[in-house]
Amino acid sequence: MVTYVSAMGVRRGFQCDDGQVTRFRWIGAAIAAMAFATTVTMPAAHVEATAPPTTEVANTAPVATNDLLPENNNLSDCIGTAEPANCGSRARADGHTYLVFLALAAGLTFIGWRIARGVRIRDRAHDPTL
């Protein structure tokens, strides 16, 4: 008995004959050759190093009106990863800093409580003797 599928030559799955495999290989080789040619023939940017312009730096301290910046020190002397001595001000630790810390601690406490509560509810659902 000949079915429609076998008469039309339809096969199950993805099958290629030798001609299709060869075409796929040629297409892949052509794409690789174009990518290689594009990479090799790209013009390189020509960059020359020049000496920086010579300018004289004034020894005046910058004018700052921020309360968090030091008043008696040069601002450029206070730049770095670790803050040197006499580079801060009294305005750095006021009540607002502590309020932000308390809000952060309260938020983390609330999140921890919700996680613990969810774990207890999950454990009770799996083990009803708890």
Give pLDDT tens digits for 33-79: 888 877 777 666 666 777 777 777 666 666 656 666 666 767 777 77
The three state secondary structure string of the chain is CCCHHHHHCCCCCCCCCHHHHHHHHHHHHHHHHHHHHHHHHCCCCCCCCCCCCCCCCCCCCCCCCCCCCCCCCCHHHHCCCCCCCCCCCHHHCCHHHHHHHHHHHHHHHHHHHHHHHHHHHHHHHHCCCC
This model's pTM is above 0.75: no
